[in-house]
Chain A
């Protein structure tokens, strides 16, 4: 597929002039500008910005908005107050994960839902299909709202320079309306890097009329933020132990297998899609489990590589893998039988036929939380 056939985001012009552009989920997206490792470190140590305009964004409005979302997702939307959000998955009736998403509440009849670029059509169809018994209106505004992530220990400082709203008052997973570089926007203290930071939404701008989005992007660059591509986005989320839909979970995995049991609230008010299947899976126990692996020998694990036990018997598979720039070694997320899930369990990754030793480690995140990640500021 050539670049001309791909969808473009609001910021495409910038990417084509400054970055290496690749196809991702049907979009022409930057994989890097200067280099993945430099961009990765900018986010761990300073402030990086990402174009996330390719993601799915839908307004759920109407008197039943909260009740509808609580029926749709596994987490408990009813515990959200205005300006609060939560991370959740939504499942099919067999408990398979359709997608992971963030649900933000603006009011009891007004919720903002953000989901994966690769699932934009699938998710919106799923919302539509399941909303018939509820008094709600769904507005897919993915192309009419720009979105960018501002991430890193200096994210607040950088964004604060462009707004009069006091960002120190915006807690994690909170969302506020504000002006950024003079442009009406919403900013949420969420992200996909393991670091502190914000996701900024800019309504009233489209890929063919990108002025507002560009104004914010350029102001962030001028304030000292490093532009980052999808390469660093992936290496950062892996190092933080965060799931990538389609790799680490899909409709053949349930939230308990994926280590997402904490997003499932079986006791919340009302029924939700997949509840019965997940309850059953919980009672009978799951057979496989997503774990983190760190290699102790040279090598880089990749998606699809087999995982073997100490005896060399293949028991699992790597779903995401790469080199951790912080740890300087190969790390992976992998599915293994539950018996192998304990930290310290020795396992091997088969890299091009060669077994490479590693073990199960703490993986959310892989790095030392006193040195990196959003929690370090709390130490």
Chain B
């Protein structure tokens, strides 16, 4: 793979290119990474999960769409969806522009955080994983 993708330190990653970030208030913010946004290219539509939904780790809870393709969003951690990034409804390109920041997708109140995180990759492991694709 010749292209370079940004992998942010301190986050946890899935093989499907989602990330999870522990917040100070005990919630976990989730989104897709630079690799995913780059593969989708121009994201034109985001289907968000519903606030209040109970989700399992790696359950499909939303979708990202480019003009050509649809990609499911698998939640990196299980728990309850407490907030979704509604700005994405009108500005789905936030994910392309800032996948680790303004392009966050949801905030989750985790139900078994440490167990779930143990199934994910840290930045270093994820960088190695990207090299194998």
Contact B42 A35 (CB under 8 A): yes
Q: Known: A35-B41, A35-B42, A299-B45. Contact between A235 and B67, CB under 8 A?
A: yes
Contact A323 B47 (CB under 8 A): no
Q: Which of B41, B42, B45, B89 meets A300, CB within 8 Å?
A: B45
* Chain A residue nearest in CB terms to B72: A352
B53 within 8 A of A: no
**Smallest distance from the beta carbon of B90 to chain A beta carbons, Å?**
10
Q: Which of A20, A302, A323, A325 meets B41, CB within 8 Å?
A: A20
Instruction: Choose among A32, A300, A322, A351 the residue with the greatest number of B CB atoms under 10 Å from its CB.
Output: A300
Residues of chain B contacted by A40 (CB below 8 angstroms)? 67
Residues of chain A contacted by B57 (CB below 8 angstroms)? none
**A197-234 near B? 1/0 per residue, CB < 8 Å:** 00000000000000000000000000000000001001
Q: Known: A298-B45, A323-B44, A352-B47. Contact between A36 and B70, CB under 8 A?
A: no
Contact B42 A36 (CB under 8 A): yes
Q: How many cross-chain pairs have Cβ atoms below 8 Å apart between A and B? A: 37
Q: Complex formed: what's the CA distance from A298 to B44 in Å?
A: 11
B16 within 8 A of A: no
**Smallest distance from the beta carbon of A244 to chain B beta carbons, Å?**
13
**Smallest distance from the beta carbon of B13 to chain A beta carbons, Å?**
23
A146 within 8 A of B: no
B54 within 8 A of A: no
Q: Complex formed: what's the CA distance from A35 to B67 in Å?
A: 10
Q: Complex formed: what's the CA distance from A322 to B42 in Å?
A: 13
A37 within 8 A of B: yes
B66 within 8 A of A: yes
Contact A37 B42 (CB under 8 A): yes
Q: Known: A298-B89, A300-B65. Contact between A32 and B41, CB under 8 A?
A: yes
**Smallest distance from the beta carbon of A318 to chain B beta carbons, Å?**
13
**Smallest distance from the beta carbon of B126 to chain A beta carbons, Å?**
23
Tally of contact residues, B, Cβ under 8 A: 12
16 A-B residue pairings within 8 Å (CB atoms): A20-B41, A31-B68, A36-B67, A36-B68, A37-B44, A37-B67, A231-B68, A298-B89, A300-B45, A300-B65, A302-B70, A322-B67, A323-B44, A323-B45, A323-B65, A323-B67
Q: Complex formed: what's the CA distance from A20 to B41 in Å?
A: 10
Residues of chain A contacted by B66 (CB below 8 angstroms)? 36
Q: Complex formed: what's the CA distance from A190 to B67 in Å?
A: 25
B125 within 8 A of A: no
Given contacts A36-B66, A322-B67, A352-B63, list 19 more A-B pairs with CB under 8 A. Answer: A32-B41, A35-B42, A36-B41, A36-B42, A36-B67, A37-B42, A40-B67, A231-B67, A231-B68, A234-B68, A235-B67, A298-B89, A299-B47, A300-B44, A300-B45, A300-B65, A322-B68, A323-B45, A325-B67
Q: Complex formed: what's the CA distance from A40 to B70 in Å?
A: 19
Q: Complex formed: what's the CA distance from A80 to B32 in Å?
A: 56
**Smallest distance from the beta carbon of A146 to chain B beta carbons, Å?**
25
Q: Which of B21-70 contact A (CB under 8 A)?
A: 41-42, 44-45, 47, 63, 65-68, 70
* Chain B residue nearest in CB terms to A229: B68
* Chain A residue nearest in CB terms to B68: A231
Chain A to chain B: the 6 pairs with minimum beta-carbon distance, closest first: A36-B67, A35-B42, A323-B44, A231-B68, A300-B65, A300-B45
Residues of chain B contacted by A235 (CB below 8 angstroms)? 67
**Smallest distance from the beta carbon of A308 to chain B beta carbons, Å?**
18
* Chain A residue nearest in CB terms to B45: A300
Residues of chain B contacted by A352 (CB below 8 angstroms)? 47, 63
Q: Complex formed: what's the CA distance from A22 to B89 in Å?
A: 29
**A25-59 near B? 1/0 per residue, CB < 8 Å:** 00000011001110010000000000000000000
* Chain B residue nearest in CB terms to A39: B67
**Smallest distance from the beta carbon of B46 to chain A beta carbons, Å?**
9
Residues of chain B contacted by A325 (CB below 8 angstroms)? 67
Q: Complex formed: what's the CA distance from A352 to B63 in Å?
A: 9
Q: Complex formed: what's the CA distance from A37 to B66 in Å?
A: 10
Residues of chain A contacted by B68 (CB below 8 angstroms)? 31, 36, 231, 234, 322
* Chain A residue nearest in CB terms to B96: A35
